[in-house]
Structure 1
Amino acid sequence: MADARSRAGEQQVQVFDALGRASWTFRVGDAIEHLLTDEAGDLWVGYFDEGVYGDPLSAPGLRQWSATGESLWSYRPAASADSISDCYALNVFGRTAWACPYTRFPLLRIGAGYAVRVRENPVRSVLGFAVHADRVVLFGRNGGRAGRLVDCRLTDAAVEPVAESTLVRPDGGPLGRRRVVSRGPRLHVQEEPGTEWTVLDIG
């Protein structure tokens, strides 16, 4: 578990063992937007702008840490991709991480050996996404309200929209305040008060 905000010297991440006992703590930087583990137990952390522009640990926008707090990898602008100002969306599945950061919202894939693949993406304000094979479904805002779904095809260099719809509540109403977790082909959406999850699975 982790606190999203922290100051230098504060230990904000707490690791528990299989019996629920606190094992150790460490700091990964201020302004955590997303924190997901991969199948090896390493942490992938995406940061929002206050950390990117205010804390050296958060400045890369996206980092990988070991479960004991060792820095394993930091994002550096790749060819045709800018620096990350805010990691709007992060998806971790197996040993692969995907991100869709502000400002231009390219789709980044970080694979074996930390090779970064960049795909241009015309869809803006992406808050989460599900990805499987050559398909990605982007979840984001439509006119300022969350719920937009854009079904896309992945090419070698780009994300190509195919169809668009709106994600609504089971009763047909618009989504309220919510949090989004992206895991491979699944997009998990939890609305307040946080008692139920809605899952979109494109696998």
Structure 2
Amino acid sequence: MLGLILELIDRLHQKDYRIALDLALQLHAKMPNNPYLLRLISTLYGILAREATGGEGWALEEEAIRWGEQAVHAAPEIGWLWAELGWDCWVHLEYERAHRAFRRALELDPCCVDALRGLASLWSLPENEGEKWVSRDEMIDFLKRVVELEYRNPIPALHWLVNELQRAGQHEQAKAYALRALLSFPPPEPEMSKFFAKLLSDGRIEADLGLEVEIL
């Protein structure tokens, strides 16, 4: 079995995902209840779905969900498995199921970044009309938590957060987080730096960037 695992790893390194999936399914016959293998199979179906076209892609997405559900049933106490299932459902446009999975992931692990990102991403969907899943305040809170948890690479989350704070009219907070982005290491890429710097130099927004500005 070790030889099969090593061959699977080699195929993954080569990005030969169809053969990797075949090998993972062979492994599944030998250890049918391993949640990490079940999750890997789900992930591989998801990758193949993105490479497919038309009905084949849709069917592969359904397989990704099916295997993702098996993973959470095998280990229902592991939060990130629920978050991954949430994203499987999100990609398949099953947003209600995605919402339930993300919430469950967050109940199990309040620091689950994938669940926080997933819930934040639901806010802007037309299906969230009336904020039935996620409110604007929740979305902003989720993004702030992502920034803190991804402190080694916060720039993508900071860009998202600053945009949402601007849309919400929370300009002082937007400026505070823009300043934080510019003081990060590694620094933002040049175009991203220009985005944050423009916000700080915009004379229409008056904000004291000292300690009294709340930077969570």
Please report the TM-score for the alignment, with normalisation by the length of structure 1: 0.31
Greater RCO, CA 8 A, separation 6+:
1
Normalized per residue, the structure richer in strand is 1
